[in-house]
Amino acid sequence: RWPVTAARSVALPNGKDKMRGREKRLGSQRAVVCDVEHPRGAFRAVSLHLDAHSSQRHRRRQMRVVLDFLDGLTPSLPVLVGGDWNTSTYNSSRAAYSILGFFRRVLMGVGHVIENHYLKPDRWFERGLFRELERRGYTYGDLNEPGAGTLHYDVKDLAANTNMGEWVPRWCFWWIEWALRDHGGRCSLKLDWFAGRDVEPDSHVAPRVVGGLRGRGGEVLSDHDPIVLDFALRKT
């Protein structure tokens, strides 16, 4: 709707050899950066998808690469960063780490983990990434709907189980179903986020996660719920 200028892409470091897994890929993931010429002021927009099969430390490293790139751009503009940051709370760089992490969370209490960690990953398991943002002058708490999941796992979801089955052994699914037995076989995770520098949420419209979107034929449009933010540029 508004002119987009100075589009750039930023290569993100790989956390593993992408040709060694079942989902083979050349190159690396990239963040997309552009300047938006809005009538109320120009701002810098960033679309960022952090690596799913990675550790918490590696996701923080990828975020740091993007923030370093943004710090080097001129002129300095308000910045809005959004996307799937895969803040699952897990070290998913290897299947073994994911499995051990799962059993640790079972011991912590499944209900406690779902409510206080899966939906609030910034509190502990992913705190390094979010503290990095804050240290660099970015805010995120007021730019997102608190405690609202954006990905919803169901033990009956064949597509989700097929994808996970390419990563973890089949016997793990019995334990997952057992762990979620008191939660209807479902749990949600907060993976998608906004963060901003010199931007603030609209005082009349709260940030929100939009759930239950379907196509004209009733088909699910995405495995992630979209996140929506009405924002204003902060005057400096």
* % of the chain with per-residue pLDDT over 70: 97
Task: Look at residue 160 in the predicted model and tell me its pLDDT.
Answer: 84
Q: Quote the CA–CA distance of 63 and 10 in Å, as a whole number.
A: 11
Token pair belonging to 139: 């805010």
**Preceding peptide of 201 cis, ω within 30°:** no
Q: Do residues 63 and 132 make contact, with C-beta atoms less than 8 angstroms apart? A: yes
Average pLDDT of the chain to the nearest whole number: 95
Does the predicted TM-score (pTM) go above 0.85?
yes
Task: Look at residue 166 in the predicted model and tell me its pLDDT.
Answer: 75
pLDDT band of residue 236 (cuts 50, 70, 90) is low
pLDDT band of residue 200 (cuts 50, 70, 90) is very high
Homologous superfamily of 4-93+124-150+188-233 in CATH?
Endonuclease/exonuclease/phosphatase (3.60.10.10)
In the predicted structure, residue 51 carries a pLDDT above the cut 90: yes
Provide the 3-class DSSP secondary structure of residue 119: coil
Mean pLDDT (whole number) for 170-175: 94
Q: Do residues 191 and 88 make contact, with C-beta atoms less than 8 angstroms apart? A: yes
In the predicted structure, residue 31 carries a pLDDT above the cut 80: yes
From 10-24, 25-39, 166-180, 189-203, the region with the lowest mean pLDDT: 10-24
More confident residue, 166 or 13: 13
What does the H/E/C string look like for 209-229? ECCCCECCCCCECCCECCEEC
Task: Look at residue 19 in the predicted model and tell me its pLDDT.
Answer: 65
Mean pLDDT (whole number) for 41-61: 97
Mean pLDDT (whole number) for 132-150: 99
In the predicted structure, residue 196 carries a pLDDT above the cut 90: yes
